[in-house]
Amino acid sequence: MVRNLSVNMCGVDFKNPVIPASGTFGFGLELADSMDLNTLGGISLKGTTLNARYGNPTPRIAECAAGMINSVGLQNPGIDALVSEKVPALRKIYNNVVIANISGFSLDEYVACCAKADECEGVDIIEVNISCPNVHNGGMAFGTSAQSAAQVASEVRKVCKKPVFIKLSPNVTDIVSIARACEDAGADGLTLVNTFLGMRIDIFRRKPVVANKVGGFSGRAVFPIALRMVWQVAGACSIPVMGCGGVSCAQDVIEMMMAGAKTVQVGAENLRNPRVCQEIVSELPSLMEKLGIEDINEIIGIIH
């Protein structure tokens, strides 16, 4: 029996729910020679800002027992390069869903970037990373305040015709209130979660391992926490959720979808195994058969 892996999210058709997460798959082009990109349901492109950024000083990476800490600092060529070079080049070889991941350090930056991404013919969904520090509000991340998160969602929604997903930070006391605020402000969907704040210390040098002292902790270790947050938010909001955080295998994808995610992003595991998303897609039908699932849509939110 043929198992159905296709899902529809905000009117956008995905051939399967598996998506490499932003920052772990470049702009897709980097992996084109080593795998068939068209096996992927979608690709969330590298986080993009208004202007080109060189990122944080090195070292930027710290290994952990079941994950990693990164402090890359949003190194990217800027929004104009994304829409004029990166997306058109990707579209020559890739036919499925393209998600532009947008970051900003002020409300005006978010609006300007999202407007340009929305006008780009090759982009299907706008994913807004609100884990960035608001330079006009003491450096506090937009995503740690329901009011700030809602303000970004509201202003971005005004300039976008395409679906807008807000990517939530897990470094908060109540992620549900922030998710609801984004929904009320007009967000079409939510991506969760972004990385957790973490740190490693080099005991021989007596200094933090990464130059920025702290960074984003991701990898298999965070999966149970991310899963819990997806379950909480999917149960509290009516807009679709893209689940993300510690996903490394087909079973994790099924768990995320049972918790309420419509699609699932794979992040840090791509850095360990660049073909993991392709492998997960190929493994899903046999796992679905084992579990008696004919259509993957049957299980979305099934534990609620």
- Extract the tokens encoding 293: 């699932």
Check if the beta carbon of residue 83 is closer than 8 Å to that of residue 109. no
Q: Which residues lie below 8 Å from residue 290, measured CB to CB, with a gap of 6+?
A: none
Is 132 an active-site residue?
Answer: yes
25-30 contact pairs (CB < 8 A, 24+): 25/270, 25/277, 27/82, 27/86, 27/87, 27/89, 27/90, 28/90, 28/94, 28/98, 29/86, 29/89, 29/90, 29/93
Q: Which of 113, 132, 160, 244 is catalytic?
A: 132
For every residue of 71-126, which 3-state class applies, written as one string? CCCCCECCHHHHHHHHHHHHHCCCCCEEEEEECCCCHHHHHHHHHHHHHCCCCCEE
- Separation between Cα atoms, residue 199 and residue 209, nearest integer Å: 8
Identify the residue whose tokens are 């532009």: 100
Are the CB atoms for 45 and 100 separated by under 8 Å? yes
Alpha carbon 231 to its chain's center: 16
Decide: 169 and 145 in contact? Cβ < 8 Å: no
Characterize the bridge pairing of strands 207-208 and 201-202: antiparallel
Buried b (16+ CB within 10 A) or exposed e, 92-101: eebebbbbbb
Residues designated catalytic: 132
